[in-house]
Structure 1
Amino acid sequence: MARKPKTPDFEQALQQLEGLVEQLEQGDLPIEDALKAFEEGIRLTRDCQGILQQAEQKVQLLTEQDGEIEVTDFPGNGAPSA
């Protein structure tokens, strides 16, 4: 049985998006290719947003205690640690 193509993970999608932006910024793509690159960039942006939303929901579920969300700083985000 054939597998469905896997959605790229966040890092892969972001890397592809950065490559498309570089191509578009050069300004030498024919208009059809530029439109295709733009459409692909929009799709990748939506994929990244969806991945981030899922991660945020997962973090909220993991940090929920007694029916309330406990807001905590993550290590490495620039906040001083206690």
Structure 2
Amino acid sequence: MSRKKPENLSFEEALSELESLVDRLEQGDISLEESLKSFERGIALTRNCQQALAKAEQKVSILSDKTLEAEP
């Protein structure tokens, strides 16, 4: 199964995959090479999630500012 690039995943998909990677790493039953690949993938997924959260925060801030400006 080919995996999507982190930037092509929704926030929820990236977070779910990240949680699965953490579970696998915590079990400790994968090779060092696989652990490093998983860690690298996890970093990319984390960055994707952080960017999605930053965009959402910016939208909320913009909407909040517009709401405050519209109030009499």
TM-score range, shorter chain: 0.7 to 0.9
**Higher Rg:** 1
- CA-atom RMSD in angstroms: 1.3
Give the C-alpha shift of residue 47 in structure 1: 0.3
Gaps of 5+ in 1: 67-82
CA distance in 2, matches of 1:7, 1:57: 20
The amino acid across from 2:31 in the alignment is P
Give the C-alpha shift of residue 7 in structure 1: 1.2
CA distance in 2, matches of 1:7, 1:59: 22
CA distance in 2, matches of 1:42, 1:58: 24
**Which residue number corresponds to residue 23 of structure 2?**
22
Give the C-alpha shift of residue 8 in structure 1: 0.6
Q: Which has the higher contact order (CA 8 A, sep 6+)?
A: 2
The amino acid across from 2:13 in the alignment is Q
What is the count of residue pairs matched by the alignment? 62
**Which residue number corresponds to residue 76 of structure 1?**
none
Stretches of 4+ aligned residues off by more than 6 angstroms: none
The amino acid across from 1:44 in the alignment is L
**Which residue number corresponds to residue 62 of structure 1?**
63
CA distance in 2, matches of 1:45, 1:35: 15
With normalisation by structure 1, the TM-score equals 0.71
More helix by proportion, 1 or 2?
Answer: 2
Give the C-alpha shift of residue 55 in structure 1: 0.2
SS class of match (1:23): helix
Gaps of 5+ in 2: none
